[in-house]
Amino acid sequence: MKSISKILGLAALTLTAALTSCEGEKDLIIIEEDLPIKTSTLYMVGDATPNGWSIDAPTALTPTEEDALIFTYEGKLTRGEMKLCLTPGSWDAPFIRPAEAGLEVSKAGRPAETFVMHAGDPDLKWVVTEEAIYKLIFNLRNWTAEFQYVSDVPKEPKNPIETEALYMVGDATPNGWNIDAPTQLNKESQYIFTFEGDLKKGEMKCCMTTGSWDAEFIRPAADGIEINRDGVAESEFIKSTSPDNKWKVTVAGTYKLTFDLQNWTIAAQLLKEAPEEPQPGENDPIEAEMVFAIGDALESGWSLDAAPLLTVSADNKYIYSGQLTLGYGDLKFGTVKDFGAAFIHPTTAGCSISKDGVADNGIEFYAGDPDAKWRVNDEGVYNVTLDMEKDTIAVEYAGEKPDTINTDVRYIVGDASPKGWSLDEAIGLVKSADNAYIFTYEGELNVGEFKFCIERDWGAKFIRPEVNGTEIDHNGMVKQKFLYYAGDPDNKWKIIEAGKYKLTLDLMNCTFEATFVE
């Protein structure tokens, strides 16, 4: 029997019913079995699938005539990841996934094995390692998935690519990600284009026109095909708008690249390897008269004027520290209030800051692209220390983010509330006379969804549950942490049983509680 955690509320695994016998006695009947997933549609999404990561137009599987709960697909899968959903249009819905992260699909196939289904994390996906024609069989009655290798993908004749110019773009290339002025290759003949020069560690792809990310790009058939001392790992390339596959240069140096647009191939030769990049602390120290934080993770956002300053150590002019209140978003540090100046960046874009600290303690100091930034994944108060002599950053979680918003008014909005989704008529919560941080609503609620707002503005921040669709019924809801943010994901609480409720917001401790009154 599957555990409830695998289903997460989509289907209960045990069903109890009290039945009255002829003699008036009640017998408890317990059914323990895998309940089928009742759906008339099934789709797959991912860069391994024909329609890529388009959640609005995922690739459909077909129900079989013998059993409408057994779905199949026969066709090409490319190298990449995939998972399945019951309906298009929402990343918040439950997905069908492998029981373990990264289960590989190759020409060896995969026998029928149990899958799981849930929303959110862990974001488990199958990984297709070999492009081929496969037959997929998903049995929603028995919760099993099977992958059968059918054949290799027939090679289609490729017409030569006609173009007067070829460019490459990416942080590995001299001009970075500048699509308006990418690095141009030399045209040696009608179909041969070459580049000889320096490539940095990073990613790259090629285009035939400038100024548009929507055009077709020349790219590898799978993401992350390496270019290094041994050349390029695979010579064949494709021309497409998606998936966004890119070559990955793993050894910096001077290269000669040759693109053959008649045969759709790339060759790479490392002419001279670049010296090893200096380790943290080996660069010249960063000299600065001030250090400030900037980014949408801060209340001050991208404002240079309002950017909070860090404090220089009395004992070491290269060490700056401070306590920052951070929300979800991006962050970097500056030394001169000029967006054209050099900034302090992480060594990898999207380097995570969370309650566990910082994922990588290295820093880099440069102007321009790539404009790498730290990504704050847990809201809170953090102690941040930059050592600009050793090129390191230290981040320590110091506690929850205080609610600094205006606490005079709160409103409930949603189809569960008496005034529905009307912001103009939204009902205000009552502020406690004894505690300025406690707000309550007591009244009728309909079956439906709701959230709380401070301003009558759809673009403002809303108070929301940590998990979208958190259900409330006659049992109420125990005190839980809430989130406060604008935009997506648009999490909301869900009333599943109409009645009179008392809702309590504690803004000091960022908690929400619901009690069923009658």
508 vs 432: CA distance, rounded Å: 13
pLDDT at 292: 95
| Residue bearing tokens 């799981």 | 116
Torsion of CA 12, 18, 19, 25, to 10 degrees: 160
302 vs 448: CA distance, rounded Å: 37
Does the pTM exceed 0.75? Answer: no
Residue 479 contacts by C-beta under 8 Å, 6 or more apart in sequence?
506, 511, 512, 513
Total residues belonging to the chain: 518
Predicted confidence pLDDT, tens digits, the chain (518 residues):
333 334 333 433 333 333 333 344 434 444 445 689 999 999 999 989 999 889 999 999 999 999 999 999 999 999 889 999 999 999 999 999 999 988 999 999 999 999 999 988 888 999 998 989 999 999 999 999 999 999 998 877 789 999 999 999 999 999 999 999 999 999 999 999 999 999 999 999 999 999 999 899 999 988 889 999 999 999 999 998 877 889 999 999 999 999 999 999 999 999 999 886 554 444 578 889 999 999 988 878 888 888 899 999 999 999 999 989 888 889 999 999 888 889 999 988 889 999 989 999 999 999 888 889 999 988 888 999 999 999 999 999 988 765 544 456 788 999 999 999 999 999 999 988 877 778 899 999 999 999 998 888 888 888 988 888 999 999 888 888 888 888 888 899 999 999 999 999 887 667 899 999 88
CA 42 to centroid of chain Cα atoms: 23
pLDDT at 277: 58
183: left (phi over 0), alpha (psi -120 to 50) or beta: beta
Q: Which pair of tokens denotes residue 442?
A: 């007591």
Give 293-347 as a DSSP string. EESTTSTTTT-STTPPBPEE-SS-TTEEEEEEEE-SEEEEEESSS-TTS-EEEES
pLDDT at 196: 96
**End-to-end distance of the chain based on CA atoms, in angstroms?**
37
pLDDT at 281: 44
pLDDT at 340: 85
285 vs 287: CA distance, rounded Å: 6
* Type of residue at 71: F
- Residues 375 and 395: beta-carbon distance below 8 Å: no
* Secondary structure E strands in 185-307: 186-187, 192-199, 202-207, 217-220, 225-228, 231-232, 237-240, 247-249, 253-260, 265-273, 292-294
198 vs 213: CA distance, rounded Å: 24
Q: Is 467 helix (H, G, I), strand (E, B) or coil?
A: coil
Torsion of CA 15, 20, 23, 27, to 10 degrees: 20
Q: Which pair of tokens denotes residue 119?
A: 């929303």
Determine if the peptide bond prior to 243 is cis (ω within 30°): yes
Cβ contacts of 221-230, under 8 Å, gap ≥ 24: 221/78, 221/79, 221/131, 221/245, 222/78, 222/79, 222/80, 222/131, 223/47, 223/79, 223/80, 224/248, 226/250, 227/172, 227/199, 227/251, 227/255, 227/268, 228/270, 229/270, 229/273
Give the domains, in start order, of the chain with CATH numbers: 43-151 (2.60.40.3620), 167-273 (2.60.40.3620), 292-399 (2.60.40.3620), 411-516 (2.60.40.3620)
pLDDT at 509: 66
- Residues 55 and 32: beta-carbon distance below 8 Å: no
Quick one: DSSP state of residue 362? B
400 vs 229: CA distance, rounded Å: 48
CA 71 to centroid of chain Cα atoms: 28
